[in-house]
Structure 1
Amino acid sequence: MAGILAWFWNERFWLPHNVTWADLKNTDEATFPQAEDLYLACPLAFCIFMVRLLFERFIARPCAVGLKIQASGPQKAQPNAILEKVFTAITKHPDEKRLEGLSKQLDWDVRTIQRWFRQRRNQEKPSTLARFCESMWRFTFYLYIFTYGVRFLKKTPWLWNTKECWYNYPYQDFLIMFLHHMATISLITFSYVNNMARVGSLVMCLHDAADVLIEAAKMANYAKCQILCNLLFAMFALVFISSRLAVYPVWILNTTLFESWDIVGPYPSWWVFNLLLILLQLLHSYWSYLIGKTAYQAVSKGKVGKWNPLHVSKDDRSDIESSSDEDENQTKQKTHNSATNGTNKPHGSNGFLTGTSYPDEH
């Protein structure tokens, strides 16, 4: 085990040349990040979770009630032991063959069984009020973190001159950055271990700006303020695309790839850090494409739906499925389209705002 730890914490991987872990030990004159500090993330995460519960219960929920957002969920499915067993043990989305078998077994028509499964799926999804409370919490959290970051960074020289991120690296004080760094995990954990605190703070602040707007748009959507929702989403799209396709590569990647090369020089963990940042840029491009596609569909169809393009995988808990009549009409239309077009592929969605957040890639 000692050999494995020695290999993992090899100074020649993590640190620039001529720097050792002993050089980064805390002294009376200087304080540096210590890897063991990351253990504090667990109790801090629990505390934040408790704050979230209190916030949603005593602040977000009254706000939702004041906006007349309903707490009641969708209509519950009629109790049926056979269908319940299929739903819980086999499948929540029975295929045509299974539907026909259940129809014969229960002496129900297929549409009634389809309606039962739809209502049963909806029972497991949170109400609009619950999703509003979640978005209000994330909006408040992101707004606080972003405001905190801006208030701190505007006083620092490396906000205006990114070369300052690398002068005297890694002998840089970090105490004022501690709380900000605990707000996320992924790249920040890496930057924390080898004390890339300055550039890490720039990455975080840049990403937080769009998070505030998307959660505000979700709240407006749940409150049925469609004009405000559309406006906030348009603002979100502009901020997201401009900050992550323009500012991020010109400001962040330029300093991590080129300015740091000139001032500090490359070393093994430097390559890993930059590869992660480049991967992040690729994700930015993909999510920007989805946002643009969704915005185009929303405008072309004249309305905004409830799908979040930033959540790259489908989340069954997000959208309450359509009413029975509406669903039957959609089924008929889909069957007609399949027969005429020779395809059974789903049509594109024109919505974007679900109850879930997109991947946090800070």
Structure 2
Amino acid sequence: MGLSEGFWHHEYWLPPGATWEDMKGAPYPQPQDLLLCIPGALLLIVVRYIFERTVALPLGRSLGVSDRLRPKVQPNATLEGFYVQLGRTPREGDLISLAKQSDLPVKNVETWFRHRRAQDRPRLMKKFCEASWRFTFYLTSFFSGLALLYDKPWFWDHTVCWLRFPQQPLPPALGWFYLLELSFYCSLVVTLPFDVKRKDFKEQIIHHVATITLIFVSYCANLVRFGTIVMLVHDASDYILELAKMLHYMKWKRVCEAVFIVFAVVFIISRLVLFPLITYYYFVTKFQLFLISCVINAFLMILQLLHIFWSYLIIQMIFGVILHGAKRKDARSDTEESDRSEAEDLAKNQE
């Protein structure tokens, strides 16, 4: 048995008693179809580039989104070398050493590093454009998924997902929907190093890898009915979060906070109630386990742990805003320094 034949052995991918021969003669998922996600991801990156510059950028400007002026640093090879190679925030001992090497006061060296960090912070307009693209995609994906599934009996009764499995012909529209979702998450992985780096950067990588794996595996095993419902549950809250971010960058504070609370409610209901109900009650308790179903269950558990982690951050932020009157700051938002210190630096430069 060759490596490829062993990898695709029906005992790994299909429930006991089913073989690949049972899935011939009808439009079933073909693993090679997923190779289209490569050009699909590249196409989405191009579409995103065009969208951000021709739609999101003019929209942001018309809505009053603008970047703050930032102080420019004087070129200094010694300080730049330390910044690039050793760290963006030197300790007190390093500041003293760098001050001696550069023949500058320690305070000036400290200010130089603060200005240099400010230069590397993502611009507000860049964040708005990224949020606009994700909002547009998630909104389109969610309502497209609803349009595809609302008339399907297995959307309303999840036990029908497993009826006559795996002999469930694949409707072409669902195949394209699957491919679109896979292409999008692949494009996110490609652009992740160039996008605004967020506090949960590592968790985002884990999420994207788990999502791509689940889409690939569930498609090959013809768990498309189950997979589309899971993707729809995830998309239900994502576009609301991106809208809240856009409102935050527009400085529409009251509206932003109201939308964020709506997001929190939808996120917690969809990720902590509906998601485990769909995945664990029906998939684990009502479905005969085999190798790929165990793999899927493991990655679903990873997603659930991420949901719990993000829910904790969201609830923590809601309580901080409503009960303690703290200044709202997206726990999943960008890592950035105080605008106040930046404004003070600009004021000093103008004196």
Which residue identity is paired with 2:312?
Y
In the TM superposition, what are the counterparts of 1:69-148 in structure 2 within 5 Å? 69-71=65-67, 74-148=70-144
CA pair 301-78 structure 1, distance change in 2 beyond 3 A: farther
Q: Deviations over 1:90-143 (max 9, x none)?
A: 222212211111122233333322221122122122210111011011001000
Which residue identity is paired with 1:58?
T
In the alignment, the residues of structure 1 paired with residue 74 and residue 320 of structure 2 have an alpha-carbon distance, to the nearest angstrom, of 37
Deviation at 1:284, TM superposition (A): 1.6
Aligned to 2:2, what secondary structure does the other structure show?
A: helix
Which residue identity is paired with 1:240?
F
In the alignment, the residues of structure 1 paired with residue 317 and residue 262 of structure 2 have an alpha-carbon distance, to the nearest angstrom, of 14
Aligned to 1:170, what secondary structure does the other structure show?
A: coil
In the alignment, the residues of structure 1 paired with residue 329 and residue 51 of structure 2 have an alpha-carbon distance, to the nearest angstrom, of 25
Deviation at 1:324, TM superposition (A): 3.6
Q: 1:43 aligns with which of 36, 39, 42?
A: 39
The answer to whether residue 173 in structure 2 is matched with residue 176 in structure 1 is yes
In the alignment, the residues of structure 2 paired with residue 320 and residue 173 of structure 1 have an alpha-carbon distance, to the nearest angstrom, of 53
Structure (1/2) with the larger helix percentage: 2
Task: Using the aligned pairs only, state the percent identity.
Answer: 37
CA pair 213-37 structure 1, distance change in 2 beyond 3 A: same
Which residue identity is paired with 1:232?
V
2:261 aligns to what? 234
In the alignment, the residues of structure 2 paired with residue 270 and residue 87 of structure 1 have an alpha-carbon distance, to the nearest angstrom, of 48
Contact residue 73 and residue 127 of structure 1 kept, 8 A: no
CA pair 22-236 structure 1, distance change in 2 beyond 3 A: same
The answer to whether residue 288 in structure 2 is matched with residue 288 in structure 1 is no
Aligned to 2:73, what secondary structure does the other structure show?
A: coil
In the alignment, the residues of structure 1 paired with residue 61 and residue 67 of structure 2 have an alpha-carbon distance, to the nearest angstrom, of 8
> Which region of structure 1 is more displaced relative to structure 2, 270-279 or 191-200?
270-279
Q: Deviations over 1:225-255 (max 9, x none)?
A: 0001101111111111111111222233211
Contact residue 32 and residue 195 of structure 1 kept, 8 A: yes
Contact residue 138 and residue 215 of structure 1 kept, 8 A: yes
Which residue identity is paired with 2:313?
L
2:302 aligns to what? 279
Contact residue 244 and residue 259 of structure 2 kept, 8 A: yes
In the alignment, the residues of structure 2 paired with residue 272 and residue 36 of structure 1 have an alpha-carbon distance, to the nearest angstrom, of 20
Q: Which structure 2 residue ranges, 5 or more long, are not aligned?
A: 183-211, 346-351
Contact residue 71 and residue 130 of structure 1 kept, 8 A: no
Q: Deviations over 1:17-50 (max 9, x none)?
A: 222223334x3xx201111111110000011111
Following TM superposition, the consecutive aligned residue runs of length 4 or more in structure 1 with deviations greater than 6 angstroms are 325-328
Aligned to 1:253, what secondary structure does the other structure show?
A: helix
Aligned to 1:140, what secondary structure does the other structure show?
A: helix
Contact residue 187 and residue 276 of structure 1 kept, 8 A: yes
CA pair 44-31 structure 1, distance change in 2 beyond 3 A: same
The answer to whether residue 336 in structure 2 is matched with residue 319 in structure 1 is yes
Aligned to 1:195, what secondary structure does the other structure show?
A: coil
In the alignment, the residues of structure 1 paired with residue 145 and residue 249 of structure 2 have an alpha-carbon distance, to the nearest angstrom, of 29
Q: Which structure 1 residue ranges, 5 or more long, are not aligned?
A: 329-362
1:343 aligns to what? none
Which residue identity is paired with 1:226?
K
1:158 aligns to what? 154
Deviation at 1:326, TM superposition (A): 7.9
Deviation at 1:197, TM superposition (A): 0.2
2:60 aligns to what? 64
1:220 aligns to what? 247
> Which region of structure 1 is more displaced relative to structure 2, 130-139 or 240-249?
240-249
In the alignment, the residues of structure 2 paired with residue 167 and residue 129 of structure 1 have an alpha-carbon distance, to the nearest angstrom, of 49
Deviation at 1:320, TM superposition (A): 4.5
In the alignment, the residues of structure 2 paired with residue 116 and residue 219 of structure 1 have an alpha-carbon distance, to the nearest angstrom, of 31
TM-score normalised according to structure 1 size: 0.81
> Which region of structure 1 is more displaced relative to structure 2, 91-100 or 126-135?
91-100
1:22 aligns to what? 21
Contact residue 241 and residue 260 of structure 2 kept, 8 A: yes
Contact residue 73 and residue 123 of structure 1 kept, 8 A: no
In the alignment, the residues of structure 1 paired with residue 160 and residue 99 of structure 2 have an alpha-carbon distance, to the nearest angstrom, of 71
Aligned pair count reads: 314
> Which region of structure 1 is more displaced relative to structure 2, 88-97 or 128-137?
88-97
In the TM superposition, what are the counterparts of 1:343-362 in structure 2 within 5 Å? none
In the alignment, the residues of structure 2 paired with residue 296 and residue 274 of structure 1 have an alpha-carbon distance, to the nearest angstrom, of 32
CA pair 272-304 structure 1, distance change in 2 beyond 3 A: same
